[in-house]
């Protein structure tokens, strides 16, 4: 973050000039030091609406110290959680100024003299993520980089850490699921939702999926069924007294996932069987979850929450890297797939606009550097 902090002292247009000045100073001080190329980054200096507070900034070359690895970024997605971080809606706000982005994949450009595990040309992802990934070059110590197999498309490597891992953990951390059990979820078209469908199927689980009403609902239903969804219903289809009739031959789901809130969360609760569990991991409708007293007392439902952040600590890094390799393996075998759109980093404003989804929904936006 060293080179970002200089932003704190400068204003708008003078930034590039100032940082360039600092760059010269650094070069003069350490003439023989190995330096990174200059970098371009998407930066926010204050929290707020992303389309208002982010801008593209030029960073000067930085020194590559003996334990450092200089990585040329290949791809990084724009996730909803990236938007939330910029908005500052998380309980712990990241300090500003900061580079946007959280996950991504890059290629090792050069390494410091004490680096033993990585060589130029390797593909790496930040694991656990701890810095902005929306920049062309990143210099960080070797231990934050996880070397991965190069046999997956960059957009999958760039997106494996957040959404697929969320889906994987949520299927593991709450209920002991047995082959033949069913799960129910709303927001089924999200990347997490699509991963849940596929990971559930791999484990022999059935999935009942709720999507919001839309004109292309039939097409969405077909696509999700191709991924392995057993049933797909729109919210309005489920506006009946007893949703259980929609289960067909499937067992009542023991576990549900909610990333919407409001009425859509209530639909998940209605599907759950006695003593079932609903896990909330998002709130796209921005509406609270309303639960009847009888759901708790007589139906014995349990409501929990999931935040990937607790898996992003250093002490869990080893476990996470094993899971990431597992997920990348599934991606390589095309058992785990989802729609994405690669967009040139230079077109960041356009990708951001699509990611914000103000007009209509778009595939996951992945920046290509």
What are the catalytic residues?
Answer: 90
Among 28, 245, 305, 315, interactor with a second copy by CB under 8 A: 305
Q: Does residue 17 bind a second copy (CB under 8 A)?
A: no
Among 8, 130, 202, 307, interactor with a second copy by CB under 8 A: 307
Tell me the C-alpha to C-alpha distance, in Å, between residue 352 and each of 84, 91, 265, 349, 356.
Answer: 13, 23, 28, 5, 6
Interface segment toward a second copy; rule CB under 8 A; list 59-67, 117-125, 218-226, 305-313: 305-313
Closer to a second copy by CB, 19 or 258: give it.
258
Q: Does residue 91 bind a second copy (CB under 8 A)?
A: yes
Closer to a second copy by CB, 283 or 329: give it.
283
CB 324 within 8 A of CB 178: no
Q: Does residue 173 bind a second copy (CB under 8 A)?
A: no
Closer to a second copy by CB, 9 or 297: give it.
297
Burial annotation 185-206 (CB, 10 A radius, 16+ → b, else e): bbbbbbbbbbbbbbbbbeeebb
Q: Tally Cβ neighbours within 10 Å of residue 241.
A: 7
User: C-beta of 55: minimal distance to a second copy in Å?
Assistant: 28
CB 281 within 8 A of CB 261: no
- For a second copy, the binding residues in 246-265 under the rule CB under 8 A are 261
How many Cα atoms sit within 13 Å of 180 on the Cβ side? 2
Q: Is 305 helix (H, G, I), strand (E, B) or coil?
A: strand
Q: Does residue 271 bind a second copy (CB under 8 A)?
A: no
User: C-beta of 92: minimal distance to a second copy in Å?
Assistant: 9
- Give the binding-site size for a second copy (rule: CB under 8 A): 30
Q: Does residue 202 bind a second copy (CB under 8 A)?
A: no
- For a second copy, the binding residues in 132-161 under the rule CB under 8 A are none
- Both tokens of 290, joined, read 């309303």
Non-local CB neighbours of 353 within 8 Å, separated by 6+ positions: 51
* Strand 364-368 versus strand 68-77 pairing type: antiparallel
Closer to a second copy by CB, 138 or 259: give it.
259
Nearest to 40 by CA among 349, 350, 359, 346: 346
- For a second copy, the binding residues in 274-303 under the rule CB under 8 A are 279-283, 286, 288-303
User: C-beta of 171: minimal distance to a second copy in Å?
Assistant: 17
CB 96 within 8 A of CB 86: no
Q: Does residue 193 bind a second copy (CB under 8 A)?
A: no
Closer to a second copy by CB, 17 or 296: give it.
296
Burial annotation 85-97 (CB, 10 A radius, 16+ → b, else e): bbeeeeeeebebb
Closer to a second copy by CB, 109 or 266: give it.
266
Residues that bind a second copy (CB under 8 A): 90-91, 261, 279-283, 286, 288-307, 310
């Amino acid at each position: 973050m060293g080179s970002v902090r200089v932003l704190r002292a400068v204003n708008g247009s003078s930034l590039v000039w100032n940082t360039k000045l600092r760059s010269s100073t650094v070069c003069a001080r350490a003439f023989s030091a190995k330096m990174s190329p200059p970098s371009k980054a998407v930066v926010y200096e204050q929290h707020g609406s992303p389309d208002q507070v982010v801008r593209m900034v030029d960073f000067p070359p930085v020194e590559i110290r003996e334990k450092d690895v200089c990585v040329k970024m290949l791809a990084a997605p724009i996730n909803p959680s990236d938007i939330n971080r910029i908005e500052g809606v998380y309980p712990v706000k990241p300090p500003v100024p900061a580079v946007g982005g959280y996950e991504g994949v890059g290629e090792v450009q050069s390494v410091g003299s004490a680096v033993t595990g990585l060589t130029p040309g390797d593909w790496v992802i930040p694991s656990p993520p701890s810095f902005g990934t929306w920049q062309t070059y990143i210099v960080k110590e070797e231990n934050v980089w996880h070397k991965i197999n190069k046999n997956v498309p960059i957009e999958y490597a760039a997106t494996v850490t957040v959404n697929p891992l969320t889906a994987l953990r949520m299927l593991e951390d709450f209920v002991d699921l047995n082959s033949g059990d069913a799960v129910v979820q709303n927001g089924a078209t999200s990347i997490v939702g699509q991963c849940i469908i596929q990971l559930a199927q791999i484990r022999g689980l059935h999935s009942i999926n709720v999507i919001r009403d839309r004109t292309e609902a039939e097409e969405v239903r077909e696509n999700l069924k191709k991924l392995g969804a057993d049933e797909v219903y729109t919210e309005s289809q489920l506006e009946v007294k007893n949703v259980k009739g929609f289960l067909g031959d499937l067992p009542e789901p023991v576990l549900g996932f909610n990333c919407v809130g409001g009425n859509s969360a209530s639909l998940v609760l209605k599907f759950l069987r006695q003593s079932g569990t609903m896990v909330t991991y998002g709130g796209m409708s921005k509406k609270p979850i309303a639960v009847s007293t009888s759901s708790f007392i007589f139906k014995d439902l349990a409501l929990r929450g999931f935040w990937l952040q607790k898996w992003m600590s250093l002490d869990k890094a080893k476990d996470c890297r094993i899971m990431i390799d597992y997920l990348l393996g599934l991606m390589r075998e095309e058992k785990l797939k989802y729609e994405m759109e690669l967009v040139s980093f230079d077109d960041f404003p356009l990708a951001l606009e699509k990611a914000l989804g103000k007009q209509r929904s778009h595939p996951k936006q992945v920046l290509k550097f």
